[in-house]
Structure 1
């Protein structure tokens, strides 16, 4: 199936920035198509036509309508414009009443999952498959379909039923989210009965939609090399480690990149003062501005720690909360931005109320504030129990903020620990700890405090981190090599 022209790549996902975003998946899928186009691919993006995506995409035109399993879908076409950093990327939106709802892609405004999520995303996968096969968009058919996470897990499975089909890649962004469907709801998906087997989609008496991608895709990737190895173990495999070991020959990890035009401290419009690797004075100005904005004492000598992300057990929020009383005995301040489990939200509100000059908390997600935190804090906490890749530590490196991370997944792949040897050779970019415990986190912060007080080693960490290139160019080259290998191979 060798393809000499620019390969036609259809990326399918449930979210993509700037159209709609709930987390890192949106960042990744928003940036990757443009990077692939820059690398020579005809990369296009397909998403559900949520109201927010429809509103964000100018110049949308309906180009096709089709009946799929009792539902009528309308396919819209538009572009992420050249004026946007992501570049001019063709985008298709799959319109259906199933997606025309308030709230985010997965939940209503009260934070409850839509009860028909499996049916909604099964419909999306059917439409994406029809698009990839050349049955919807005129004069375009995919050579490669690149599906992302459980919401698109059925897409490689549906394509496997076709005699003449594109090759498929399935990327696992977080194996913990599997798209589980109770047996009582499975019939509504109108799937082939032979998929109700453990060798296919069955998983402990339910269907796991993520298995559609893992079992049927030609290649399976994760978002970091270490995570690709971790998920083949019982500790990180979420019950699917046996299947992933079975597919080990098709499994690999490609590290995520970041949009280095959007995340650039020298041009970031959200910041109080621009700065770069050679002019770090602006970072101190951003620190003072952030302290004032968040109601903290404006103190240049305090090590200002930040955490930006989902407030869930995976992210180790409980480790921070358990460590907080002893952290506040050190010369540190803490600022947190995020939303998630109510118990964590309440505990963080209480901690901020008890020590308002030392602890600040903002609930929800604020993109501009996330940028100001990355620029203003001295160190970023990422105490995750597991982390497929992580983007927040990459943003930190870009902004001269020293990441303090647990050595798992992409965190271990991207942060060089500040050992004496790594510091002496100029390779160190952050601080890593091994155990998911408050004690280990405290020890890591103590190391950070010592380096911060020493000043020169801290600046060395900042300079080394900012010198790293974590743009999408390298990741796009790796994906292009994967696509080429698939297209040049048999079949």
Structure 2
């Protein structure tokens, strides 16, 4: 089957979040499963710099100005590039400028991405036509609407990576994006008086997926639906909404292979993990104490990630002599609060504001427990990395976290299923209790090692997701 992924990020060439990890891995897993897979992405500078020489498919006069469609091979996978310098020739983040202001023409930039996605499902490239156009997040949502306008020459799947980001723009732009005005309707692209690119994907796709089974359930409730509960509940009732758990690229995230680590390790040879812990403690100027329970976190500093709960819980936990390392950036109030905590507890807390890919690997390998206390988490990837590296996840029971981490309850310890620590409600008391549970297990070393084995043996490889998507695609043609 010919599958086209329409997206705005691609790991490792351009990444702002988990979307890039998905589009950088799922298409390759699908190709290995026998599908003929290609990617469509804007020709952002970071993308073109990381690709080999591209050839021209054609140059087109579009509603967004002249654009050239190019084609390149990337690690055996076909990549279409939309070369429109007036829209995409901008360094850095693909969505906003250095002052974090969204680009004023984002409505046009991502409408064009979606338009090309639909056209590639309708013979734009005479050498290759998509059977399924798989659109990712709001940036590609209009692809499903354009396919609808064209009479659905290809099937469409829309994946929600985070429902909180909806791609909303002023309704007056309808005249500029080549969609009929009558589609600006509650039964169409309209949401709260604006055009919603995400809603367009939900409403017009042949099938909608979320990035974990639990998140697919959660988004049909008022708490998580962001005003789209009615539509999402209808999709669920029509069997047009399902959850497919994201995977991990074990060629990249694997302590046996990871080039970022000072020493490799595996289940039957764990001494390298102790070396990683010592090196991590040294890199963050903490005492190199192998007996200190080391909590780590790699995250965006936002309320979604539960960092406000963590800031309240940590002073109570630090009394017990544990260590805490953070790598992240985000809301300035949280950056400042963690920096102040570091000044208050210099022997136990160390914070790096920013992001560093190499350092993130060392943190996940060198920590004992990785923290993901999110208020909501569509899938989450750091807990999956933690499992593989034997760094037990401490998570809230939401979204993909609930689907991937098994709590160290007495029953789960007995049946050898436990892989981490899970708390249910987003409050400080439950988070502190989960911390205490981790500390208790740490002091019961034989049990700790058994749980670590369970964690490292868990399999969340991408081929499992690829197989599930293959079934979804096939069902669209039945």
Q: What's the CA shift string for 1:355-398, capped at 9, x where partnerless?
A: 22211111222111111111000000000001111111000001
Counterpart check, 1:141 vs 2:135: no
Q: List aligned pairs for 1:162-201, cutoff 5 A.
A: 162-163=150-151, 165-201=153-189
C-alpha distance in 1 between matches for 2:177 and 2:120:
19
Aligned partners of 2:307, 2:324: CA distance in 1, in Å? 13
Q: Give 1:376's match in structure 2, choosing from 346, 366, 374.
A: 366
Q: Distance in 2 between matches of 1:54 and 1:226?
A: 36
Cα distance change of structure 1 residues 465 and 332 upon mapping to structure 2, 3 Å threshold: same
Partner of 1:272 in structure 2? 262
Partner Cα separation in structure 2 for residue 422 and residue 121 of structure 1: 46
More off after superposition, 187-196 vs 51-60: 187-196
Matched residues in 2 for 1:118 and 1:307: separation? 34
Instruction: Say if 1:70 and 1:451 are closer, same or farther in 2 by CA, change over 3 A.
Output: closer
Structural mapping, 1:88-107, within 5 Å: 88-96=76-84, 97-107=86-96
Q: Which runs of 5+ in 1 are unaligned?
A: 1-6, 82-87
How high is the TM-score relative to the length of structure 1? 0.95
C-alpha contact (below 8 Å) 1:306/1:380 kept by paired residues:
yes
How big is the alpha-carbon RMSD for the aligned residues of Structure 1 and Structure 2?
A: 1.2
Give the Cα–Cα distance (whole angstroms) in 1 for the partners of residues 112 and 97 of structure 2: 19
Closer/same/farther in 2, CA of residues 29 and 318 from structure 1, 3 Å limit: same
User: 1:68·1:127 contact (CA, 8 Å) conserved in 2?
Assistant: no
Partner of 1:125: 114
Question: Structure 2 stretches of 5 or more lacking a match?
Answer: none
How far off its partner does 1:454 sit? 0.8
Contact 1:68–1:126 (CA<8 Å) still a contact in 2? no
- What CA deviation, in whole Å up to 9, does each residue of 1:71-101 have, x standing for no partner? 11111211222xxxxxx21111111120111
State the SS of the aligned residue for 1:146.
strand
Q: Is the 8 A contact 2:175 2:181 kept in 1?
A: no
Structure 2 CA distance for partners of 1:187 and 1:324, relative to 1, 3 Å: farther
How far apart are residue 164 of structure 1 and its match?
A: 5.2
Match of 2:444 in 1: 454
What is the CA distance between 1:303 and its match in structure 2?
Answer: 1.0
TM-aligned CA deviation for residue 184 of structure 1: 4.8
Separation in 1 of the partners of 2:146 and 2:162?
A: 22
| 1:8 corresponds to | 2
Which range is displaced more, 111-120 or 211-220?
111-120
The CA distance in 1 between the partners of 2:170 and 2:332, in whole Å, is 26
Report the counterpart of residue 139 of structure 2 in structure 1: 151
User: With structure 2 as the length reference, what TM-score do the two structures score?
Assistant: 0.97
Match of 1:80 among 74, 79, 83: 74
User: What SS class does the counterpart of residue 28 from structure 1 fall into?
Assistant: helix
Offset of residue 185 of structure 1 = 4.4
Q: Counterpart of 2:316?
A: 326
CA displacement, residues 30-81 of structure 1 (integer Å, 9 cap, x when unaligned): 1001000011100111111100001011222232211111511111211222
- 2:282 maps to which of 286, 292, 308: 292
How far apart, CA to CA, are the structure 1 residues paired with 2:106 and 2:151?
A: 29
Structure 2 equivalent of residue 357 of structure 1: 347
SS in 1 for 2:143: helix
Partner SS state of residue 235, structure 1: helix
Contact 1:73–1:127 (8 Å) recurs in 2: no
